Amino acid sequence: MNKLDDSSIKALISLLEDPNEQIYNNIKDTIVSLGEYGIKPLQEAFETSQNTLQKERIVSILDNLKLNKINEDLKYWYAFDNTDLLSGLLKIANYGHPNLDVSVIKDTLDKMEEAIKEKIDGSDPIDIIQAMNQTILYDFGFNGNIRNYSGINNSFINKIIENKISNPIGLSILYLIMAERLNIPLVGINSPGHFILGYVNDYFSIEDVEDGTVIENIEFFVDPFNNGKTIETDDFDRWLVEVPYKLENKKYLPATNESIIKRVMNNLIYALFTTGEKSTAKELLEINESL
């Protein structure tokens, strides 16, 4: 259907407190047909409503619309925009926070990029990582979320920026976004412990990550969750053997942008499940598995 103006949508939402089920179903169908245009006004109405029935109904419709939107958004990203990691992360964040201010996120990332660029003197890999560590972990104050390792906010880039804490993949994502902007050869590593990074000794292609050959060209590994600690490749191999993990399967560890987005989604799904939102978690799992 055609998009309604804001006043018409607000008028429809105000009628959701009517106890008549037939009226509710008719209004629900109309709002659902609006698609993503119904999300923000519903979110705003929920935040101001004093009517319990209306709030319950808003939540039900919102869940429907937001699930449809993230499904469509991620399918589009996978098909057309998967070289832009931040774009995929914003689609996940928009699911949890439909009214998020993207400019705040991009402004912080722009400042972080400029600060790292100023610290990089030459091209020594260790110096580059130290510059990233200094900027991200100390100057900007990002930390590992040890107290709430599986918290829902660890999966939303806007909350990571706002709260300055996240889990291993959330912190690693900041490094990968900066690496993408500054042409630093970092690759994500889906290690059996927690997500880390690999510094590659030469620039690599998406195909190198997809077929796993990039793993043979890693100079050292970086663990943003542990204060940006560097790990020698031999030490990493010894640790894999102890896990135990077969060294011949190392080629499966490098993470494409698609696998990173899927892992962030899985973390979100787990967080929702453990907080009791099992139905929503199941719906998101189906979406994630279909990608």
State CA 178 to chain mean position distance: 15
How far is CA 286 from each of CA 1, 143, 272, rounded to the nearest angstrom? 27, 32, 14
DSSP 4-53: PPHHHHHHHHHGGG---HHHHHHHHHHHHTTGGGGHHHHHHHHHH---HH
Assigned token pair, 143: 């930390």
pTM of the predicted protein model:
0.93
Give yes or no for a contact between 16 and 57, defined as CB atoms under 8 angstroms apart: yes
Q: Does residue 67 sit in helix, strand or coil?
A: helix
Phi-psi region of 227 (alpha: psi -120 to 50; beta: other; left: phi over 0): left
- 7-12 contacts at long range (C-beta below 8 A, 24 or more positions apart): 9/34, 9/37, 9/38, 9/41, 10/41, 10/45
Position 118: which residue type? E
N-terminal to C-terminal alpha carbon distance within the chain: 28
Task: Tally the residues of the chain.
Answer: 291
Question: For 167, which DSSP code?
Answer: -
Looking at residue 1, its pLDDT comes to 47
Q: Using alpha carbons only, what angle is made at residue 65 by residues 276 and 97, rounded to the nearest 5 degrees?
A: 65
Low-confidence ranges of the chain (pLDDT < 70): 1-3
Q: Are 164 and 141 in contact (CB under 8 A)?
A: yes
Residue written as token pair 């790292």? 116
Q: How far, in Å, CA of 189 to CA of 194, rounded?
A: 9
The rounded distance, in Å, linking the Cα atoms of 143 and 114 is: 20
Of the candidates 253, 218, 237, 224, the one whose C-alpha atom is nearest the C-alpha of residue 125 is: 218
